[in-house]
Every structure is written in structure tokens, then in C-alpha cells.
A and B are shown apart, each in its own frame.
Chain A
Amino acid sequence: MGNFGQLMDGFAVALTTHHVLIMIAGVLLGLVVGVLPGLGAPNGVSLLLPLTFGMDPIAAIILLTSMYWGALFGGSTTSILFNIPGEPSSVATTFDGYPMARKGEAVRALTLAFGSAGIGAMTGVIVITLLSGWVAQFALRFGAAEYFAVYFMAFASFIGMSGGSPFKTLVSMMLGFACATIGMDTISGESRLTFDWDPLIGGVSFLIAVIGLFGLGELLITMEEGVKFEGVKARLSMTEIFRTLAELPRYWATLIRSAAIGCWMGITPGGPTAASFMSYALGRRFSKRGSKFGTGEPEGVVAPETADHSAGSCALLPMLALGIPGSATAAVMMGGLMIWGLSPGPMLFTTRPDFVWGLIASMYLGNVIAVVLVLATVPLFAYVLRAPFKVVGPIIAVVCVIGAYTVANHMFDVWLALVFGVLGYAFKKLNYPLAPFVLAMVLGDKAEDAFRQALLTSDGSASIFFANGLVATMMGLGILLLLLPAISYVHRRFKPDGAREGVVSVVAAARYDGRDAPATTAGQ
């Protein structure tokens, strides 16, 4: 257990008053940044970076990572309260978190989100501690084909989940792919779908789409239908928070499954956003209460939050060990490392063990501090819902527009967000799911690049996707996930034949329909 000894040394580095104060400041700053949609962790870290130039590298990285944790937590807050994901990775939290808030269970939803996020992050850090030496070697085995297999699994688990009209899912996903292709193509170096129009050359930011589709779209629906928040009913006592925390162990199966998915997607190049989607989709399929997902089911909050945070923690490992950032925030931090005179890469663990293990120890402490701080803010945030909609509504609209502008300081993005808002409204009115659209936008161009790079490597032969045990296993699992709905369909269609259309088949059909039917609300 050489790692354990080094971790203890790390704690000795991280546990100074100076560093703990920095963690608290970082988490608080992160919370603010995470709550504002569009600003997000990458922008926040990038804004803070100049402040760290005069600091020693350990204090600097502790400040930036603490801010990252704070932002991850803050991102879930607006997802649950207003259906606006503050961070891309908290989109999946809106699916059940927002319905819960509307039912008057905002405190419960927030507490569950923060509690499970804390557990997810802890799992991630423990995985990093135990496997740090091995992960770097493992990550080297990922070529373009393996990258594609990871993305393929994420897509497959999601398609398998959507039970509503397959046609509508497909339309939504294809539109997402189309949006993802806008801008410069990595493989050919040509612009696609930009129509020689300057504002489109940088592509369409995923954050803009999310702010429009979710935030503004929901606002339009609320205005039309006059949906009332039942926030007044929400209990704001601290006992409610503790009661909810005590409830967490009941979801142990979801927690373990989601943490495993999160760690896997964090170490491989999937990243937190893909992890949270995949975890939600698989939770829906394998949880006993999966049929209730989308209507305000606690497990629908626990699943994406746990995976998001375990992936977020694990994603720091490839950054340190390989110099390949697993997320946008990690990319900014990596830039920071280079400016402080450190080179991320396989040798960092040997040349600067004090830095690496100090950072890992600070991840333990930072997450504990973050959970305590965010739980303390729950009553405050829940109180916001008590304000009447005529006050909150305009504020949400303003926050969305400012958020859209802050993503890249482009006025064009604001107009784009408004367009996406109308699109989101139309999607909901026509019962098209939004989730496949978002997933395709996040992973579409990455999956496409990996697919084409793999085929270039193999001179066009698709056998590369089954060339070794690792990639073949992932592709096999992906195909299985993809076929799962078809298998269960065949199963329910042909199994009861022996019963000659008896009561059994009706009951069976009803049971399976019960599982698949509410999928129309998956796009919430």
C-alpha cells in the first residue's frame, strides 16, 4: 500500500489552515459560478487562473479544484429549481429533479442530489487513490476504435431506454447530430453547415442549446399552461434535510451502479456529461421503480448525480497522468499546471509526488467541505421557490439570456438561445423527447471523429471495432444495450403464445407497457 502512505503525506500537505481556507473560498466561488447558467466551471476556473500566478502550485490547484467541486454542486441547484442546467453534466438531473421541485419536494430533491453527488465524488477519489498507477497504463490502451466504443455504449444505453415513439427519438437525435456537425470538421479541415456565415464558424455551443431548450422552453410552457410551483408547501426545516440524508442508503443499488458507471466514464474518455446520461438511462431500465422515472422519482436524481460526480473526480486522473484533459475544466486546469511550471504527464507522479498526492488529499477534504456548505444553502435556495412566478419567471428569463451571453461573449448566442427556446417549446408541445437531442449534441462530433479516425487507421475495415478483447467487449455490450428493447418486445410478444391470448398475456403486456409508456416525459 505505497499509495496509502503517500496519501497520508498528501493530507499533511493539504491539511493546513491556509489550504483549508482556500478550499472553502474555492467551493463558495464555485457555487456562485455553477448556479449561473452559461458561466460554468470552465469559464470560472479560467477567470480565476490569473489570481493563482503568484501562488505556489499546490495552493493554486487546490483553489481551482475546490472551485470545480463547488461549480458541479451549484449546477445541480438550478437544474432542480428552474429546469435550467447550470452545467452540461447536470442536464440529466432536470429529468426528475425539476418534477420533484414542482411537487413541492425541492428540499428533498436538492438534499438527495447533493448527498448522492458527495458519495459519487468520494467513490471517484477512492478509485483514484487505489488505481492511480494502473489507470495511466490502462488509458494508453484506448485508441480511436476504443474511444468510439465508449461513445457507442452511451448512445446505445440511451436508445434502449427511450420507449416512446422510436421515430420521434430518432428525429430528435438526428437533429442533435446535425447541430453537432456545424463548424470546422477535424478530419477534413472543412467547414460544414456554416453557409459561409461567420457566427456559425465556431459551431453551436452545447450550453446555448441547453439554456434555450430547457430554461427558456420550460418558461414558455409554464407561461402558457400556468403551471404553479407548489413551493409554498415545501418544508424548509433542517430536519427535512437530515431525514432525506438518512433515506439515501435505501438507494444503495442505484448508488453503486451509478458510481461504477461514473468511474468508468471518467477514466475512459466519456466524461461526466455522458456518464450522467448513461447512468440515468440504465437506472431507468434496471431500477424497480424505473417506470416512474421522469415523474419526480428520487432515484432519477440519485443516478445522474452520483455518476456525474464520480466521473468528474476520475476525469482528473487522465489529465494528470497523460496530459489529456477529460473535461473542459480539466483542460483549463492543465493550462494552469503548465504556467506554474509543472508538466502533466506520466512523470508527474514521480517528479512531484507532493503535488499529486496533496491534490488527491485535497479532493477528499474539498468534497466534504462542499457537501456541508451546499447542504447549508438548501433552505435558502428552496425559499426562492416561494416567490410568486410573476417574480421568478422574469428573473429566470434574464438569467438565461445573461448565461447565453457569458458562454463566449457573443450577442449572436443570445439570439440562438431564443431560437432554441422556441424549439424546446415546440418539442414539448409535439411530445418529442429532448434528451436524445442533447446527448447527440454532446457526444456527436466526438463519436464521429473517433469513428473516422478508427477507419483511417484500419484502412476502412470495420473489423477494427472487434480487433481486441477490450473494444470487442465494449461494442458487444453496446449492441446488447441497443437490442434490449427489441428483445423485451419479442419476449412479451411471443412468450405468452402458449397461454392463447389468455389473461396472462394481458397482464404481461400491461406490466411491460407500464415500464415503457412514461418515456414520453423523458424529455422533460
Chain B
Amino acid sequence: MKIQRTIALAAMLAAGAPAMAQDFKPTRPVEFIVAAGPGGGSDTFARVVQASLSKSGLLTSPIIVTNKAGGSGAETFIYAKTSPGDPYKLFFGTQDAYVLPLASKLSYSLDDLTPIAAMAFDPFLLWVNPKTSGIEDVKGFIAKAKEQPGALKVGGAKAKEADETLMTLIEQKAGVDLTYIPFKSGSEAAIQVAGGHITANVNNPSESVEQWKAGVQKPLCVFEDARLEDKTVIADGMSWNAIPTCAESGIDVKSFAQPRTVWMSAKTPPEAVAYYTELLKKAAETPDFKAYVSRGAQIPRVLTGDAFKEFIAKHKASYAEMYKTNGWLRAEN
């Protein structure tokens, strides 16, 4: 009896250990923590993932979404640091996870996070209101900016982040002088352009598309290597595909898209990391998520594992470079 039991136990352990390692399955509610306020880009991203997981039955445990938007989202990643190894917490953001510590003194670093996936890439466009600004294309934009240095006001979300970085890149590559005006969100900046209060803004497609349809905003160019793929006509007889790249029209800024990223805290058990990586890969294939990606004219590119880590290292280095040029880089970096 005793021997039998021991053998059985040993067999169970031998067979069970690797099986268990692959078989992480959540038994409690899973928490999604969002590094942005309600209604913001990252918030919509997290809630769409939540909807696509629960509607498709990929994840049966309840999902709770909480927003920790403080300090431009740093609050979320600081929170990640305080709960190391927790397999029930996923953190949603953009490049902010590794870019924020470049400029501000924060108590977390990239080592406190485990990268899980980048689920889509949101491109940036340059927008104007053609009626109030009299600008119809990039040429006109550059000409106007050269005419009165510093007089063109460009709006964007927050200070010393993606939007302002992009604006300084435009200044450098086109050899112009612009004035940046930070707003709380990208959609706020878009409305200011639509109302003719400022000249232009840099924005993700989803934040300005409705104003484009209403004829109060017009995209000048997209900051990507190649044009966007979607050929459905959106407004003015134009599709996303009809918008020229900025590089081909005179502002040599390529591939500035921001990744929609998911993280876990450091020391998360590898089986949990593997589980969520697979889960998010499947989520990206659901109709809900695909609809979200195409609605916002995002680039459907999923990165996980080493490919994602490689991307992070490169992206972080390029931001560090740009921050250095702008004088925003913290001394320790």
C-alpha cells in the first residue's frame, strides 16, 4: 500500500509538475489597471480587450477595469511595482511604461514590469482645419510656418510626451519653428483646431476622425513608413490610404506609431505569463478587437515575447535620443 502510494505520488509529481506549469488558469477575478483616465485611448483599449475576452468566452473569470491615471499614468506602473508576481493584475498603457521614467524621477523602472504584448499600433497624423487656417497640404503648412516663425500653434495631449516629442521632430526635420500648446487629451486639442483657436494638432486617427467627417478637420499626412492600408472612403472622397506619408510630403518623420501595450509585474510566474500571452494573442483575433483596430485606423501588428522585448529596447533608445535633443532627459539616464 505504502509503496504504491509513494509511487503514485512520485508519478503524479513527475507528470504533474510540467503539466501544472503550462496550466495556469485564473480562478479569481482578473484586474485590468489602466494608465489613463476614463474615455482616454488606453482606457478604450483595455475595455475593448475586456469586452472581447468576456464576450467570446476566452476568459470566464470576471474582469475588473480600474483607472490609475495619476502622474500621466505613472501611478499604474508604481502600483505594479508594489504587487510583484501577482498573476491577477494586467497593466495597460502605451510606450509610457518605459518613456515616463526618462524625463521624470519616478520610483519604478522597466525592471519592475514584465512585458506581455503590444496588441496594435496607433499611427499619428498631422491635422488642420482647412477653412480657418487656409492650409490644404503639408507644403502650405511648412510655407506658413516659415513665413511667421513661432506663430503657428500646434496642440497635443500633455507635455513632454509623445505628442510634444513629435512636434519637436517636425520642427527639426522641416526646419521650422512652432509653438506647442498642451491639452489634457488629444480630443480636446482636436476640438481647439476644429474651432480655429489653434492651427494644427498631432493626433491618433480615432481622436479626430469624427471632426474630419464633419468637415472641420483635415489630415495632412501620416507619420509612417508607408501609407495606411484602409481604402474605405471616410470623408471628402478620401480614405485613410489616400493620406500621403509625411516623409513623402516634406517632413521626414517615419514610423512614429504608439504601441498599445500590456504588462504584468516583475516576478510573475512564467506559466501565468505564457497563459496571458496566448490569451491576448487570441483576443487580438476576436471580431470585437479587429473592429476596434480598424475603426481607429490602427496598424494590426501583435508583438509578444522576445520580439516585443526587442521592440521595447529599440523604442526606448529612440525616445531617449529625442529627449536628449530636447533637453528633457533626466540626468541619471
A contact residues vs B (CB 8 Å cutoff) = 42, 46, 49-50, 53-54, 139-144, 183-191, 194, 196, 198, 201-203, 322-325, 328, 331-332, 334-335, 338-339, 341, 343-348, 408-409, 449, 453, 456-457, 459
CB < 8 Å neighbour of B211 from A50, A54, A341, A345:
A345
Q: Which residue of A lies closest to B107 (CB)?
A: A198
B69 touches A202 (CB 8 A): yes
Once bound together, how far apart are the Cα atoms of A332 and B209, in whole Å? 20
A140 touches B72 (CB 8 A): no
Total number of A-B contacts with CB less than 8 angstroms?
A: 142
Shortest beta-carbon distance, A185 to chain B, in Å?
8
A189 touches B103 (CB 8 A): yes
Once bound together, how far apart are the Cα atoms of A141 and B216, in whole Å? 12
A324 touches B188 (CB 8 A): yes
Once bound together, how far apart are the Cα atoms of A81 and B73, in whole Å? 37
Q: Is B63 an interface residue (CB 8 A)?
A: yes
Q: Is B74 an interface residue (CB 8 A)?
A: yes
Q: C-beta contact mask, B162-181 vs A, less than 8 Å → 1, else 0?
A: 00100000000000000101
Once bound together, how far apart are the Cα atoms of A449 and B184, in whole Å? 9
Across the interface, which residues of B come within 8 angstroms of A142, CB to CB? 195
Once bound together, how far apart are the Cα atoms of A335 and B65, in whole Å? 12
Using known A-B contacts A339-B47, A345-B213, A457-B181, determine if residue A189 contacts B72 with beta carbons closer than 8 Å.
yes
Q: C-beta contact mask, B236-262 vs A, less than 8 Å → 1, else 0?
A: 000000000000000000000000000
Shortest beta-carbon distance, A459 to chain B, in Å?
8
Across the interface, which residues of A come within 8 angstroms of B181, CB to CB? 144, 453, 456-457
Shortest beta-carbon distance, A63 to chain B, in Å?
16
Q: Count B-side interface residues using an 8 Å CB cutoff.
A: 59
Q: Is B273 an interface residue (CB 8 A)?
A: no
Across the interface, which residues of B come within 8 angstroms of A50, CB to CB? 50-51, 54, 62-63, 65
Interfacial residues of chain B within 184-240, with CB under 8 A of chain A in the complex:
184, 187-188, 191-192, 194-195, 197-198, 206, 209-211, 213-214, 216
Instruction: Give me the 9 closest cross-chain CB pairs, A-B, nearest first.
Output: A202-B70, A345-B210, A189-B159, A143-B197, A189-B160, A346-B214, A201-B71, A331-B39, A140-B195
Q: Is B75 an interface residue (CB 8 A)?
A: yes
Once bound together, how far apart are the Cα atoms of A363 and B207, in whole Å? 27
Q: Which residue of A lies closest to B155 (CB)?
A: A453
Q: Is B25 an interface residue (CB 8 A)?
A: no
Once bound together, how far apart are the Cα atoms of A53 and B289, in whole Å? 13
Shortest beta-carbon distance, A361 to chain B, in Å?
23
Q: Which residue of A lies closest to B48 (CB)?
A: A339
Q: Is B291 an interface residue (CB 8 A)?
A: yes
A42 touches B38 (CB 8 A): yes
CB < 8 Å neighbour of A46 from B38, B54, B104:
B38
Once bound together, how far apart are the Cα atoms of A346 and B195, in whole Å? 13
Once bound together, how far apart are the Cα atoms of A338 and B69, in whole Å? 19
CB < 8 Å neighbour of A339 from B51, B66, B71, B153:
B51
Q: C-beta contact mask, B70-105 vs A, less than 8 Å → 1, else 0?
A: 111011001000000000000000000000000111
CB < 8 Å neighbour of B159 from A187, A324, A328, A459:
A187
Shortest beta-carbon distance, B109 to chain A, in Å?
13
B37 touches A331 (CB 8 A): yes
Across the interface, which residues of B come within 8 angstroms of A344, CB to CB? 210
CB < 8 Å neighbour of A184 from B70, B187, B210, B295:
B70
Q: Is B112 an interface residue (CB 8 A)?
A: no
Q: Is B139 an interface residue (CB 8 A)?
A: no
A335 touches B213 (CB 8 A): no
B183 touches A335 (CB 8 A): no
Across the interface, which residues of A come within 8 angstroms of B44, CB to CB? 335, 338-339
A202 touches B71 (CB 8 A): yes
B210 touches A191 (CB 8 A): no
CB < 8 Å neighbour of A191 from B65, B67, B104:
B104
Once bound together, how far apart are the Cα atoms of A194 and B68, in whole Å? 17
Across the interface, which residues of A come within 8 angstroms of B37, CB to CB? 331
Task: Count chain A CB atoms within 10 A of each CB in B38, B47, B50 and give the residue with the most.
Answer: B38
Q: Is B136 an interface residue (CB 8 A)?
A: no
Shortest beta-carbon distance, B286 to chain A, in Å?
12
B39 touches A144 (CB 8 A): no
Shortest beta-carbon distance, A317 to chain B, in Å?
14
Q: Which residue of B lies closest to A136 (CB)?
A: B214
A49 touches B47 (CB 8 A): yes
B78 touches A140 (CB 8 A): no
Q: Which residue of B lies closest to A185 (CB)?
A: B159
Across the interface, which residues of B come within 8 angstroms of A143, CB to CB? 192, 195, 197-198
Shortest beta-carbon distance, A407 to chain B, in Å?
11
Q: Is B55 an interface residue (CB 8 A)?
A: yes
B71 touches A334 (CB 8 A): no
Q: Is B158 an interface residue (CB 8 A)?
A: yes
Interface CB pairs A-B, < 8 A, 18: A50-B51, A50-B62, A183-B70, A184-B72, A188-B159, A196-B105, A202-B70, A203-B70, A332-B39, A338-B44, A346-B213, A346-B216, A347-B210, A348-B210, A409-B66, A453-B182, A457-B197, A459-B151
Q: Is B43 an interface residue (CB 8 A)?
A: yes
Once bound together, how far apart are the Cα atoms of A184 and B105, in whole Å? 12
Q: Is B161 an interface residue (CB 8 A)?
A: yes
Shortest beta-carbon distance, A135 to chain B, in Å?
13
A189 touches B182 (CB 8 A): yes
CB < 8 Å neighbour of B75 from A49, A185, A201, A331:
A201
A334 touches B159 (CB 8 A): no
Across the interface, which residues of A come within 8 angstroms of B197, CB to CB? 143-144, 457
Once bound together, how far apart are the Cα atoms of A343 and B208, in whole Å? 10
Using known A-B contacts A323-B187, A343-B210, determine if residue A53 contacts B51 with beta carbons closer than 8 Å.
yes
Across the interface, which residues of B come within 8 angstroms of A324, CB to CB? 187-188, 191
A186 touches B158 (CB 8 A): yes
Once bound together, how far apart are the Cα atoms of A345 and B216, in whole Å? 11
Across the interface, which residues of A come within 8 angstroms of B107, CB to CB? 196, 198
B179 touches A189 (CB 8 A): no
Across the interface, which residues of A come within 8 angstroms of B43, CB to CB? 335
A343 touches B160 (CB 8 A): no
B211 touches A141 (CB 8 A): no
Once bound together, how far apart are the Cα atoms of A203 and B159, in whole Å? 17
CB < 8 Å neighbour of A343 from B158, B179, B209, B216:
B209
Once bound together, how far apart are the Cα atoms of A516 and B247, in whole Å? 66
B78 touches A201 (CB 8 A): yes
CB < 8 Å neighbour of A186 from B67, B70, B159, B216:
B159
Once bound together, how far apart are the Cα atoms of A189 and B74, in whole Å? 12
Across the interface, which residues of B come within 8 angstroms of A198, CB to CB? 78, 107
Shortest beta-carbon distance, A396 to chain B, in Å?
26
B75 touches A202 (CB 8 A): yes
Shortest beta-carbon distance, B96 to chain A, in Å?
12
